[in-house]
Amino acid sequence: MYQYQRFAILLRGGGDIATGIALRLYRSGFRRLIILETARPLAVRRRVAFSEAVYEGLCTVEGISAALAATPDEIAPLWDAGCIPVLVDPDGVSIPHLRPEVIIEATLAKRNVGVRITDAPLVIGVGPGFTVGKDVHRIVETNRGHDLGRVLYSGSAEADTGIPGDIAGMTTERVLRAPQAGLFLTSHDIGDHVKAGDLIATVEADGHSAEVRTVIGGVIRGLLRSGTPVADRVKVGDVDPRDNTACHHVSDKAFAIGGGVLEAILGRFNRPCLIRKGVLHCPVDKAALSG
């Protein structure tokens, strides 16, 4: 077993992008992963989000499972069982106790919600809201385009455009938003085929019901759980106009970002492999490991 497989890598956030990162790391041999989440995750693409473990106790994405850890003491047994532990700790109170070698800020809040460059030997910011050398050691670009997934060694990521990615010519048209604050209710599910103008959900507040209708046809790619409290204008769903999309697979964007995170980790801890007496040796940065 390579030494880097003993690393503890902590992801703040368990949404679809964070899950793509976790899958890429897990499949690359990094098995001691930890995900910190809120008590009520709002992942729209929840079929491909390890945050669902908070609600279900156990969830599986592309053959890899994550399980809810009630306390930090349950993390190691879940590792031994081959699962990725998900701990409800949005403020990162457990971080000093867990002492991870790597922290990945993947909440995609588009601002720094509390991560510090001193939290771990390697702190990686995902998307905008961070500055290399001030908040984090590395940043991975999240905006679609030529630089998607690129590791930044200085400066900051591109600013949030506020415009969803283009899918078959559709951007803002494919996003469903809450028309008011209240309780989100729906009888639809991810994978349902819908037509333009269909009623997808309602948001109930103080006896007033506000409708959520889609302006395009296609497949529901993401949708919040029915019964979820939502804020006004928050994203509650996503319709894919291609009508043949795989709603249960991690996106190309998530995997591209995951590749950038993997590069940042290996670039920090890995060293050129040496061949001695016909044996391949891959040393790591021992100073970083003891930090």
Residues 66-117 have pLDDT tens digits of 999 999 999 999 999 999 999 999 999 999 999 999 999 999 998 898 899 9
Q: How far apart are CA 157 and CA 162, in angstroms?
A: 14
Three-state SS for 26? helix
Q: Does the 172-240 domain belong in CATH 3.30.365.10?
A: no
**Rg for the chain, CA atoms, rounded:** 20
Q: Give whole-number Cα distances, 182 to 20, 137, 171, 178, in Å.
A: 30, 39, 25, 8
| Distance (Å) of CA 191 to CA 37, 198, 248 | 25, 15, 9
Q: Among 51, 63, 69, 43, which Cα is nearest to 14's?
A: 51
What are 217's two structure tokens?
A: 């046809």
pLDDT at 281: 53
- Which residue positions in the chain have pLDDT lower than 70? 1-6, 244-245, 271-291
pLDDT for position 25: 96
H helix intervals, 57-111: 75-80, 95-98
Q: What is the CATH number of domain 3-159+250-289?
A: 3.40.50
What's the rounded Cα separation, in Å, for the pair 243 and 76?
42
Q: Which residue has the tokens 């995902």?
A: 126
**For residues 87 and 97, what is the distance between their CA atoms, to the nearest angstrom?**
13
Long-range Cβ pairs for the range 208-217 (8 Å, 24+):
208/180, 208/182, 210/178, 210/179, 210/180, 210/182, 211/179, 212/176, 212/177, 212/178, 212/179, 212/186, 212/236, 212/237, 214/176, 214/239, 215/173, 216/170, 216/173, 216/174, 216/241, 217/193, 217/241, 217/243
The pLDDT assigned to 170 comes to 76
Extents of the domains making up the chain:
3-159+250-289, 172-240
Q: What are phi and psi of 173, to 5 degrees?
A: -65, -25
Residue with tokens 């200085």: 154
**Tens digits of residue pLDDT in 199-227:** 999 999 999 999 999 999 999 999 999 99
Alpha-carbon distances of 113 from 25, 109, 159, rounded to whole Å: 23, 7, 16
The pTM score is: 0.89
Spatial contact of 55 and 225, defined as CB atoms under 8 Å apart:
yes
